[in-house]
A and B are shown apart, each in its own frame.
Chain A
Amino acid sequence: MLVFAGAIWNFLSQGGFEMIRMKIGIGALMIGLALSLVGCASWFPQAGVKQAGSVVTYLYPNAKEAPQLKPSVTYLRPPVRVGIAFVPGTGSRAGLTEPEKESLLERVKASFAHYDYIGDIEVIPTEYLRPGGGFANLEQVARMFNVEVMALLSYDQIQFNDTNSLSVLYWTIVGAYIVHGDQYDIQTMVDASVFDVRSHKLLFRAPGSSRIKGSASLAGFSEHSRAARVEGYNKAVDELIPRLQSELQTFKVRLKSDSSYRVENKPGYSGGGDFGWLGILIALSLAVVAYRARRKA
């Protein structure tokens, strides 16, 4: 016991205290460095973001076989009342916010408002569509909003994130706020599928796509990429609208030859008093007759 106490006294008297303090200091420094590195890593953007809402997943959630459509005649009664909605997204990252969706849908609505054979266009919030709700949910919503045809917008957006050579300057801390060392590449596809609610028939569809590339500093990357994602949707819808109008014209031509579609007037139809060019000829003939009658008199 006396020997052990003597050894400890010897160790402390030869500078053992200083050694322990140094080792503790180095350990704390290492731990601090490691923690700060982990913190910085959490700043870095994720490898990519995917947002998707599929019309197939919404309408045929549990389909293991191809849907069987019975051969039937689809009746269209102009002016057709149309509902327009984004299909529900899957997962936690379901894409655009509701006001952003509404703004896009309003633009699509405005571009179709001048067609006489299209009646009211109702913008339907996505909350009314249940994920995987199928045609049963679609019919419920159509009844609720009193629409006969539904235009469902599905979307698929992928964001790829990469760093460029400038990102090496992030280690200067200031560089993380100034240098654009992060890049994004956002590819967006929006697809409008127009369904007759009663017959469940796909009338026509049209896609729109966009690609947006950009770069941002580490600190501003999240904000920049979010704005770019919204811009991606806007550009895709810009491309979608003329294509959808073109598809509508093609569908109108197809209606005349396709016997599975029939256009009928609604019980309360609109009537225009019209004699056409023949009426003007009749009136001019009457003017000639009146002139001759006056001359004779």
Chain B
Amino acid sequence: MRLAIVLSLICGILACAPGEAVNWLSLDRHALLSGEVWRLWTGHLVHFSAMHAAEDIMLLFVVTAIAEREIGGWATGIALLVGAPLISLSLILLVPDLALYEGSSGLSAFLGFIVGALIWRRSPHLRFMIGCIGLVAVAKASLDATGFLAGFSSVPEGVRVAWQAHVIAWLIAAASMALVAQARSWMLASKKRRPYSIFGKEQGARS
């Protein structure tokens, strides 16, 4: 819960910050390419308007609080620290027309996918509900992509909903989970082999 509160507070404070500060932190393609790398992280913490910030902060608070409960505060923090620049870099590479990105919903999508996938694996009886939630999220992203929900967005006029950030976040979350699962299976396999491979004789002798 601590991380959820801290993140929400940071986003809230930045929502009240002057425009120059927000411009200095947003994910600006040209500024990033000229070496301002902090934008890979900070772009997810600033917003275009107070309304945009309010919705995104609420979403981030709920999802981060769930993630902290499910995978722990440290793991959530590390996931966010690694996930944020990966989402930003992917946006810069895969969406060349996107000159400027602001908003924390990419991080929420990233954590939401991880939490959903964990519950899916742990609790098979809740898979139907998780599937429904996932479908609604995918439908929302599809409608954003086609522009059907343009009028219902909280982003100000002249700013598009960057639905690509959500899709990219889901893909990165899926890839990260697959990597973690693979790494865990390798570690388990190496643990099983350890008495014979590294300390085989001594440990075997002691036991």
Cross-interface CB contact of A272 among B108, B116, B137, B155, cutoff 8 Å: B155
- B181 surroundings in chain A (CB, below 8 A): none
- A117 surroundings in chain B (CB, below 8 A): 157-158
Given contacts A268-B97, A274-B103, A282-B137, contact A293 B154 (CB under 8 A): no
The answer to whether A49 has its CB under 8 Å from any CB of chain B is no
- Binary B-proximity of A255-274 (CB < 8 A = 1, otherwise 0): 00000000001111111111
Given contacts A283-B108, A290-B69, A296-B123, contact A272 B159 (CB under 8 A): yes
A284 to B164, CA, bound (A): 23
- B156 surroundings in chain A (CB, below 8 A): 116, 272
Given contacts A116-B156, A286-B116, A290-B66, contact A272 B109 (CB under 8 A): no
The answer on a CB contact under 8 Å between A290 and B119 is yes
Cross-interface CB contact of A273 among B99, B106, B116, cutoff 8 Å: B106
The answer to whether A275 has its CB under 8 Å from any CB of chain B is yes
Interface residues of B in 46-74 (CB under 8 A from A): 47-49, 52, 55-56, 58-59, 62-63, 65-66, 69-70
- A297 surroundings in chain B (CB, below 8 A): 122-123
Which residue, of A266, A273, A284, A290, has the highest number of chain B Cβ atoms within 10 A?
Answer: A273
- B104 surroundings in chain A (CB, below 8 A): 273
The answer on a CB contact under 8 Å between B133 and A289 is yes
Chain A contributes a number of interface residues (CB within 8 A of B) equal to 33
Tell me how far the C-beta of A248 lies from the nearest C-beta in chain B, rounded to whole angstroms: 12
- What is the chain A residue whose CB lies nearest that of B157? A117
Interface residues of B in 88-126 (CB under 8 A from A): 91, 95, 97-106, 108-109, 112, 115-116, 119, 122-123, 125-126
The answer to whether B165 has its CB under 8 Å from any CB of chain A is yes
Given contacts A280-B62, A289-B129, contact A274 B115 (CB under 8 A): no
The answer on a CB contact under 8 Å between A267 and B122 is no
- What is the chain A residue whose CB lies nearest that of B26? A270
- B58 surroundings in chain A (CB, below 8 A): 280, 283
- A280 surroundings in chain B (CB, below 8 A): 55, 58-59, 62
The range of chain B's interface size is 35 or more
- A273 surroundings in chain B (CB, below 8 A): 44, 56, 101-106, 161-162, 165-166
Number of A-B contacts (CB under 8 A): 158
The answer on a CB contact under 8 Å between A274 and B155 is yes
A117 to B69, CA, bound (A): 41
- B140 surroundings in chain A (CB, below 8 A): 275-276, 278-279, 282
A292 to B65, CA, bound (A): 15
Cross-interface CB contact of B112 among A272, A277, A282, cutoff 8 Å: A282
The answer to whether A10 has its CB under 8 Å from any CB of chain B is no
The answer on a CB contact under 8 Å between B123 and A293 is yes
The answer to whether B39 has its CB under 8 Å from any CB of chain A is no
The answer to whether B136 has its CB under 8 Å from any CB of chain A is yes
- Binary A-proximity of B129-166 (CB < 8 A = 1, otherwise 0): 11001001100100000000100111111111110111
The answer to whether A140 has its CB under 8 Å from any CB of chain B is no
- A282 surroundings in chain B (CB, below 8 A): 112, 133, 136-137, 140
A293 to B127, CA, bound (A): 10
Given contacts A273-B103, A276-B149, contact A293 B133 (CB under 8 A): no
The answer on a CB contact under 8 Å between B158 and A78 is yes
The answer on a CB contact under 8 Å between A79 and B158 is yes
The answer to whether A285 has its CB under 8 Å from any CB of chain B is yes
- A289 surroundings in chain B (CB, below 8 A): 116, 119, 126, 129-130, 133
Given contacts A116-B48, A273-B106, contact A286 B158 (CB under 8 A): no
The answer to whether A94 has its CB under 8 Å from any CB of chain B is no
Known interface pairs A272-B162, A276-B140; 15 further A-B residue pairs with C-beta atoms within 8 A, sorted by A's residue number: A116-B158, A268-B98, A268-B100, A270-B158, A270-B159, A271-B95, A271-B159, A272-B48, A274-B153, A275-B105, A278-B140, A285-B129, A286-B116, A290-B66, A293-B119
Q: What are 12 contact pairs spanning A and B, CB under 8 A? A: A117-B157, A268-B97, A270-B48, A271-B91, A273-B104, A274-B56, A274-B103, A276-B140, A283-B63, A287-B65, A289-B129, A290-B70
